[in-house]
A = this chain, B = another copy of it.
Amino acid sequence: MGHGSGGAMSHELVAQRLLRRLSNEALEPLDDAAVLPLSGRVAFTTDSYVVSPLIFPGGDIGRLAVCGTVNDLAMMGAQAASLSLALIIEEGLPFTTLDQVVSSIQAACKEAGVHIVTGDTKVVNRGKADGLFITTSGVGVVPDTVRVSGHNCRPGDRVLISGTLAEHGVAVMSAREGLSFSTTTRSDCAPLNGLVRAMVDECASALRCMRDPTRGGVASTLNELASQSGVSVTIDEDALPVRPEVRSACEMLGLDPLYVANEGKLIAVVEPEAADRLLTTMRSHPLGREAAVIGEVAHGTPGRVTMRTHLGPSRLIAMLAGELLPRIC
């Protein structure tokens, strides 16, 4: 608890465990706020991470927090981002775990080309948190050429996805204590700003909307977009890329991959004329190799999402109603 006091032990924790790995020019002054030169339309986002367990196949809460915030900014078209990092640490969290997570934050920042520029650390008594919660926020400048929003989808637009579904959710579930199945599936957790940069460079004006289908999965994201834009969306079951082992794991767990979280995939709604070009661009990027056109926007009932199934008939893809996978991110 002394590490959360704001006194000498707090300073030591910050210096020894955090600054040593995360230091950079903007963070270094340790003033009450970082001061950044920014100009234009600045995207600003925040997310808390409460994933359980803290470490899972393909990632950990640190990588998740960095990628999640980088991706939320990237979905608005913003690139070189500055991040904040706020830790809520449960008393007794092993230093080895903290160090591992901070190393992972450092690596993910390097991979994404971003910096942690400001932060905070709190400690709560044993039993009052679950090891570690992380909240990251971020800011980044949106290029003038990019005008994306969930309100922009129009009938005729194509719906693209950057790769295979449901890997993050399945990986976390497989790592969860007490769960009696295991798989080789690793989380897809990855920073998408590089992929987005390639798409923006290829054809910024054709991008109506981008979203990363995290909590609630592709189904919830498409429902949000259909509702916000007042359109319907139709997707094609046969077009959905799902790895066989993920499909098996979902069947065993009684989950529909459409509702399972992704952390390194994006959905792009694009003008129909540019869909092929953007698909090619996505497939040329390491994080978009399995990109696919999965559906289109239509005039139907506003807010309605339907799927043409493998067997022919269409079914309604509703918004997730209750709890599916708790604490997946």
Residues of A whose CB lies within 8 Å of any CB of B are 1-2, 4-11, 29-50, 52, 71-73, 75-76, 78, 82, 84-88, 117-120, 122-125, 127-130, 133, 135, 137-139, 142, 148-151, 211-212, 214-217, 220, 224, 228, 259, 261, 318-327
Contact = CB atoms under 8 A, between A and B. Distances in A.
Given A320-B6, A326-B1, A120 B42 contact: no
Most chain B beta-carbon neighbours within 10 Å: one of A42, A82, A224, A324:
A42
Given A124-B326, A125-B326, 7 more contacts: A30-B224, A44-B137, A45-B84, A45-B118, A46-B118, A46-B119, A128-B130
Contacts of A85: 46
B5 A324 contact: yes
A320 B7 contact: yes
Contact of A2 (B1, B29, B125, B323): B323
Nearest to A138: B33
Nearest to A48: B86
B47 A36 contact: no
Contacts of A228: 29-30
